[in-house]
Structure 1
Amino acid sequence: MKKPVLLVFFLMSIIPNLFAQNIHLNSLGFLTDDSKTAVIPQSCTSFKLVSVSTGDIVFEGETTGPNYQKDVDQEVWRLDFSAFQKPGRYYLKVPGVGKSGEFEIGADVFNFAAKTSMRGFYLWRCGMAVDGEFAGNHYHQDACHLNDAYEDYIGKKGSKRDGTGGWHDAGDHGKYVVNAGISLGVLFYAWEHFQPQLEKMELDIPETAPGFPDFLKELKWETDWILKMQYPDGSGRVSHKLTRTNFSDFIMAHDDDAKRYFTDWSSAATADFVGIMAMAARYFKPYDAAYAKKCLDVAWVSYRFLQENPEYKRFEQGDFKTGGYQTKDDDDRLWAAAELWATTGDEDCLRDYEKRAAEIDYEILENWDWQNVSNLAMFTYALSSRDGKNSEIEKTIKKNIIANAEAIVEKGKSDVYSRALGGRYYWGCNGTVARQTVNLQVANLIQPNPKYKQAAIGIVDHIFGKNYYSRSYVTGLGINPPMFPHDRRSGADKIEAPWPGYLVGGGHSATDWVDKEESYSHNEIAINWQAALVYALAGFVSY
C-alpha cells in the first residue's frame, strides 16, 4: 500500500519533536477552562509551559508520581497545568525529558477534529461520487454500487430493486442494518444533546437534503438507505444487510462490480430499523414533516410485525462471508419500544419498554456496542420529557445511570492514561472508550457535575495522544496518526496518507496495537466507532 521510505519522510515533516514522545498528551490541545494534563513514563520532578510566540515561560509546576500500572508495565509521572487558562500556542518543557510538540489552548481546539471526523461519514457515502481536500491531498471516489441490489436471497431470484445509498460500513464496502442502528442512535444523540453547537457546523457536503442542517443532512443520507431495507411486501421484515457474498480485494468501491444482494431478514435488524426510523421521525420533522411521517409509518409496520412475531429470528450467513453482525434481539426490541414511545407517546410502547427494562433489572452498561444497544433505550427513557413514565422506574434508571457514570469516572482517574474502560481490550475497543462519553454526558444532563465532563475530556485526551503509544488513534489528526488503516480506499487510492478523520479499532491488550493495514482486528475503521468519536468531540465544540 505505502512505501516505508515515504512514511519516514511523512513523519519527519509533521512531527518536529518525535524525540519527545515521552510527553504523552492530547496533541490537539486543551480547552481554556477545563483540565489540562500530560503524563511522562520516566522520572521527572518539574515542568514548564512555554509560549510559542514569545518563548516566555508562562506556567511552572511540579509533577506527581510515580504511579505504576500493570497492563502497560510503566511508572508514570503526571503534569497538571489546568490552572493556566490563557488562549494561545504552547509547548511543555520538562528537565531531563525534553519538550513536547506544540499545542493550542482555546475554546475551539476540537472544532476541526469534530468537523473532519463527521465529514468521514460523507466520504463513506455509497452510490455517489465523493471528494475531499485534506493536508494537500485530494481524495476522490466515483459513484459506486449503482446496481444495488439483487433479491435472490429473499425469494426473488434474478430480481433487482433499489438499494443504493447509505454509508459503507467499515473498511469494506458492505452495508449493515444492525451496525447502522447504534451508529445513527449515537449520532442522533449528539444532535439532541449538543444541537446549539452542531447546527452551526458546516461540513461542506452536497445539497442532498435541502433545508436540513449539515449534520442532519448527513444522517438523512444513511436513513434514506435504511428505508430501502424493509421488505417491499408490507410485512415489516427488514433485511439484515446488503453486501456481496465475499469481501472484495483492496480496490476502490467504484471498481467493485460484483453482484450485491439484499439478505434474509433478522429480528434484530427489524427492531433496529424501528429505533432508527422513530428517531428520524423526531429529529427530521422540523425540516421535512412529510419525510418524518414516512419514517414513522414504516416504523409502525415493523414494530407491529415484531409484536406479532415475538420469537428471535437469527440471521444465518449461508453463502455470505461478509460481516455477520449476529446478535440476540432483546436489547434491540427494547430500544425499538423506547424510541417509538418517545416519538409518539403511545402507551402500549411505553408498557412494552417498561416490561422489557424490568427483565434486565434496568442495567446500564459501561462496555457496549452494536451487540447490545439497551443503553440507547435506557437513556432515551430517562431523558424524555413525555408524561406517563412510571416514577419508580424512572428514578431507578436515573440512579443507575449516575452510578455507572461514577464508576467510569473512577476508572478514568485510576488509569494513568485516562482510559476509562479499565483493563479491557478487544477488537474495536477504541470505539467503546469513545462511546463511554455518551454515558458521562447523559449523567451530566440528569445530574450536572463537572467530573463527568472532565472524564469525557480525559477520553478525548486519550484518543489523541495521551496513551501508551503517544500517538493519535485518528487518521490525519494529531500526533503521529495511523498511516495504515484497514480501509480499502486508503489501500487502493495510491495516495500516501490515508483518508482522514477515522478512528481505528485499537489493541487487544494495552501494548499490542499495530498500525498495519492487514490487521483488521487492530486497525480497521467502522461507522459505529466513528459515531462514538463524533459524539465525544461534539460535546466540546464551540462556534
Structure 2
Amino acid sequence: MKRIVPLLGLLIGVQATAATAIHVNQLGFAPQADKLAVVTDSTATSFEVLRADNGQSVYRGELGAAAAWKASAETVKLADFSTLTAPGEYRIKVDGAAPSDRFVIGADTYRKLNAAALKAYYMNRAGIALETRYAGVYARPAGHMDDKVLVHASAASKDRPEGSTITSAKGWYDAGDYNEYVVNSGISTYTLLAAFEHFPAYYAKQNLNLPESGNGLPDILNEALWNLDWMLTMQDPHDGGVYHKLTNKTFDAMVMPDQAMKAPRYVVQKSTAAALDFAATMAAASRVFKAYEQQRPGLSARMLAAAEAAWTWAAAHPTATFRNPPDVRTGEYGDQHLDDEFAWAAAELYISTRNDDYYRAMKAEQTPATVPNWGDVNGLAWMSLAHHRARLTPLADRKLIASRIDGLAAALASTWKSSPYRVAMKDKDFVWGSNAVVLNQSMMLLQGYRLNGKVEYLDAAQSGLDYVLGRNATTYSFVTGFGARPPLHPHHRPSQADKIDAPVPGFLVGGPQAGQQDQADCPPYPAKLPATSYLDNVCSYASNEVAINWNAPLVYVSGALDELSKQKVDLAVLLRQEQLLQFDSFDNETALALGLKAVELARAAGQKVAVNVTRDGLVQFYHGMQGMTADHDNWIRRKSNLVNRTGHSSFYIHNEVKNAGGDIDALPGLDARDFAAQGGSFPLVVKGKGRIGTITVTGLPGSDDHALVVATLKAYLKIADL
C-alpha cells in the first residue's frame, strides 16, 4: 500500500493548489511579527481575519494592489494583518475563496518546530541504534558503525596506504543517502554552533530527549558534537589533511541503515575545500566548547590545534580540488573555487586565536558578503566577524564588517520589498535546495537586524520562514510533520523504508526548482515554473530530498525569530504609553515620589541606575546609585534633551529612527553631543496642561531603562495594564 501513496499525494497536492487562493504560514506568528498572507487571482479588495473556533471577525483590512509574480505565473495581492497581536488561532477570509489554513498568534510559536528540526539530526545519526525512548516509533537498529573504513586509492599515503583501515565512527548521514561529507558537514555544524553562540539562553532551555540530555551541555551542542567527533576522525594525524568524504562506491538502495552495511565504506581523497571547511568549523567549535572544559576536558584545545593543522595543510595544497574517482559515484560536493573557503577559515581562526596573520590572510577587502551555501561560504566569515566585532584586535576593520553585513541585508530587503510574494528570492534562486536558499537569505537578514536593528530586515527574514511554512505557490509547508500540508514522501531512505506512514518529522525538503533532474524516474510534475516545480514523491531527489545543510538554517531562523520577535517594538504601543501615563496634577512631592519609586524598583530588581526628575527646567530629584559616574549624568542630559525637543519618549524616537532605517547616532539636525536616541527618558504630561518635564533613567540597556521608567509611572499612577 505504501508504494502507491506517492501518486495519491501528488493528486491531492494538485487539487489543493488549484482550490486554495489564500497562502499563509501554516504554523503562525509571534504577536509582534510582521504578518502577511498572499491571495492569488482574486477580484476581492478586502479581507478579514476570523477566530478559528467560532468564526468571529476580529480584523478587517484592504488587500494590496494586484501584481504578477513571474516565478509562479500568478497574479497576487498581499493581506497585511501585522497589527493583529492578540494570541489565538485564526483563519483568513476573502470573498470567493475558501478560508485559509489555521494559524496561531502566540509566544514561542516556533519552539516545537525548532526542536524537531534539531531532533532530525539525531534521527539521521550514523553509528548508533535509535532507541524507542528517544526516537519513538522511528526507533531503528544501528547502521554504519564505521570501525573499519578502507582508505581509498585516492586517499592513500605512506602512513595510510590503500586498503588500510581507520575508525571513523559517528557523524550524520548527509541527506537522503547514507554517506558523510566533510564539506557539507562544515556549513551544517557551523550554523548550529552559530545559533547557540547568538542565542544561548534560547537553547539552554531546550531538552531534545537525546541519549546525552542532562550531561551539562545544551542539547544543541550535544547534537553538534556527534558530528564534530566524526569530523575529527576525518583528519589524517600525520599531515593535517582532511578526507573529503566517507562513502560507499555507489548509493545504497532504499533500505534501513542496518540493511545497507554490506558494501565497504571508504575515506576518499584529501581536498583543500574539506581541510578549510574543517578548519573553520573546528575553530568556531573551539570557542563554543571552551566554556565546557569540565564536560569534555581538552576538547577545545584539541579542536583549535586540529583547525590550525588543517589550515597549514590547505596552505601547502591550495589547489587540491575534488573530483570523484572513476570508481566512486556518490555525491561529489566538488568545489573548484576556493577563495571563499580560505576567507572563512581565516576569519574563524582569527576570531579564535586573535592572531592578526589570519585576518590578513582573509583578504577582507576582496571578500564579498554573499548568501551562504556549501559552495560559497563567504557570508559565514562576515557573520562570525560581525557577532564578535567587539572583541576583535585593532587590525580588524569594523566599518568594513558592518558595511558588508548591512549591504547584503539591504540588497535582500530591497528584493523582498519589491516582490509580489514578498520574498527575497529572485528567479535565479530557484535552484536545487531552493528552500535552503530562502532560509539562508533570512539568516543573513537577521545578521543585519542584529547589527543595526533595522526592522525591515527582521520583517524580510520572517517572510523567508513564512515561505517555507506555506506562503508559497505550491501551498505546501515544506517541513515534514508541520503545517496543514507537509511533505509525506521525502526522498529520505529511513522515511521510505521504515514501514511507517508518516515521514520522520522536522526535515526541510529541497523545494521547487525547474530543473526536474529526476523526471526520468518520476511521474510528471504538476508544473514546470520555478516556484511550482515541486513533487511530493520519494522519487524526487531534485525537489523532495532532505539534507543536513538545508535543515541548519531552519534551526537558526526559527530560533532567532522566536527570540528577536519579542524585542520588536510597536510604535503604537509606545504612543499608547505616552497617552495613558499622564497626571491630573504634578508638584514637587510628586517628583520626589516618582524618583524614590524608580530607585525602589531598581533595587528590587538588582539594577544600578541614575534617576532624574525635572519639572519646568528645574531638577526636582536626582539619585545616582553606587557605580554611577559623570558619564551617566551626560546620558541623562542628552536623553532628556531629546524628549524636550520631540515631545516623545527617547525610546519612541529610538525605534522610529530604526524602523525607518536611519542612524540613531546621527539624527538629522541634532548634534549627538547634546541629543541621545536611547531609551530611558519619558515626557511628564499634566492632562489639560501639556508637557511639564521629564523623568529619566540611565545605567541599563536602553530598552531596560525605558521599561523601568514605565514601571515607575504605572506604579505611581496605579495603572495595572496598558
Both proteins in one fold, TM over 0.5: yes
TM-score (normalizing by structure 1): 0.93
- The Cα of 1:213 is off from its aligned counterpart by 0.6
* Structure 2 CA distance for partners of 1:3 and 1:137, relative to 1, 3 Å: farther
Candidates 162, 166, 169, aligned match of 2:167: 162
Secondary structure of the corresponding residue to residue 199 of structure 2: helix
- The Cα of 1:275 is off from its aligned counterpart by 0.7
CA distance in 1, matches of 2:132, 2:87: 30
CA distance in 1, matches of 2:470, 2:84: 20
Asked if 1:24 is matched to 2:31, the reply is: no
- The Cα of 1:6 is off from its aligned counterpart by 8.8
Asked if 1:372 is matched to 2:379, the reply is: no
Deviation sequence 1:17-48 (CA, Å, 0-9, x none): 99962110000011111111111112212222
Residue identity matched to 2:49: L
**Contact in 2 for aligned 1:22/1:470 (Cα 8 Å):** no
Residue identity matched to 2:140: Q
Candidates 281, 285, 290, aligned match of 1:280: 285
CA distance in 2, matches of 1:418, 1:209: 42
**Contact in 2 for aligned 1:339/1:380 (Cα 8 Å):** yes
Secondary structure of the corresponding residue to residue 264 of structure 1: strand
Deviation sequence 1:45-64 (CA, Å, 0-9, x none): 22222223443221122212
* Structure 2 CA distance for partners of 1:23 and 1:191, relative to 1, 3 Å: same
Candidates 228, 232, 237, aligned match of 2:241: 237
Residue identity matched to 1:351: R
Candidates 338, 344, 356, aligned match of 2:353: 344
CA distance in 1, matches of 2:71, 2:342: 37
Match of 1:267 in 2: 272
CA distance in 2, matches of 1:389, 1:462: 41
Residue identity matched to 2:552: A
Secondary structure of the corresponding residue to residue 521 of structure 1: coil
- The Cα of 1:147 is off from its aligned counterpart by 3.3
Deviation sequence 1:342-376 (CA, Å, 0-9, x none): 111112212212xx333xx331113x311111111
**Contact in 2 for aligned 1:231/1:238 (Cα 8 Å):** yes
Match of 1:38 in 2: 37
Deviation sequence 1:75-115 (CA, Å, 0-9, x none): 11221111111101111222221211221110121111111
* Structure 2 CA distance for partners of 1:321 and 1:389, relative to 1, 3 Å: farther
Pairs within 5 Å for 1:411-426: 411-424=415-428, 425-426=430-431
Secondary structure of the corresponding residue to residue 78 of structure 1: strand
- The Cα of 1:304 is off from its aligned counterpart by 2.3
**Contact in 2 for aligned 1:44/1:77 (Cα 8 Å):** no
- The Cα of 1:186 is off from its aligned counterpart by 1.5
Report the aligned-residue RMSD. 2.5
Match of 1:402 in 2: 406
CA distance in 2, matches of 1:365, 1:433: 13
Candidates 540, 543, 554, aligned match of 1:522: 543
Candidates 457, 462, 471, aligned match of 1:457: 462
Secondary structure of the corresponding residue to residue 138 of structure 2: strand
- The Cα of 1:335 is off from its aligned counterpart by 1.2
Over the matched positions of the two proteins, sequence identity in percent amounts to 36
Candidates 499, 507, 510, aligned match of 1:505: 510
Secondary structure of the corresponding residue to residue 535 of structure 1: helix
Pairs within 5 Å for 1:304-315: 304-307=312-315, 309-315=316-322
Match of 1:112 in 2: 112
Candidates 427, 431, 436, aligned match of 2:436: 431
Match of 1:329 in 2: 338
Secondary structure of the corresponding residue to residue 196 of structure 1: helix
**Contact in 2 for aligned 1:504/1:523 (Cα 8 Å):** yes
- The Cα of 1:178 is off from its aligned counterpart by 0.4
**Contact in 2 for aligned 1:30/1:106 (Cα 8 Å):** yes
* Structure 2 CA distance for partners of 1:315 and 1:6, relative to 1, 3 Å: closer
* Structure 2 CA distance for partners of 1:389 and 1:473, relative to 1, 3 Å: farther
Match of 1:102 in 2: 102
Which sits farther off after the overlay, 287-296 or 47-56? 47-56
- The Cα of 1:479 is off from its aligned counterpart by 2.3
Residue identity matched to 2:351: A
Deviation sequence 1:421-469 (CA, Å, 0-9, x none): 2112111111111111221111112211111111111111001000001
CA distance in 2, matches of 1:137, 1:210: 21
CA distance in 2, matches of 1:506, 1:5: 20
Asked if 1:467 is matched to 2:488, the reply is: no
CA distance in 1, matches of 2:248, 2:49: 54
- The Cα of 1:197 is off from its aligned counterpart by 1.1
**Contact in 2 for aligned 1:209/1:220 (Cα 8 Å):** no
CA distance in 2, matches of 1:324, 1:505: 18
Candidates 220, 223, 244, aligned match of 1:218: 223
Match of 2:145 in 1: 146
Residue identity matched to 1:537: S
TM-score (normalizing by structure 2): 0.70
Secondary structure of the corresponding residue to residue 376 of structure 2: coil
Structure 2 unpaired stretches of 5+: 514-529, 567-722
Residue identity matched to 2:549: N
CA distance in 2, matches of 1:459, 1:6: 27
* Structure 2 CA distance for partners of 1:132 and 1:28, relative to 1, 3 Å: farther
- The Cα of 1:305 is off from its aligned counterpart by 2.5
**Contact in 2 for aligned 1:475/1:481 (Cα 8 Å):** yes
Residue identity matched to 2:87: P
Candidates 285, 291, 294, aligned match of 2:302: 294
- The Cα of 1:279 is off from its aligned counterpart by 0.8
- The Cα of 1:413 is off from its aligned counterpart by 2.2
Find the structure with the greater CA-based Rg. 2
Secondary structure of the corresponding residue to residue 91 of structure 1: strand
Secondary structure of the corresponding residue to residue 372 of structure 1: coil
Candidates 228, 232, 236, aligned match of 2:233: 228
Corresponding residue pairs, total: 532
- The Cα of 1:310 is off from its aligned counterpart by 4.8
Match of 1:251 in 2: 255
Structure 1 unpaired stretches of 5+: none
**Contact in 1 for aligned 2:480/2:505 (Cα 8 Å):** yes
CA distance in 2, matches of 1:231, 1:467: 45
- The Cα of 1:196 is off from its aligned counterpart by 1.6
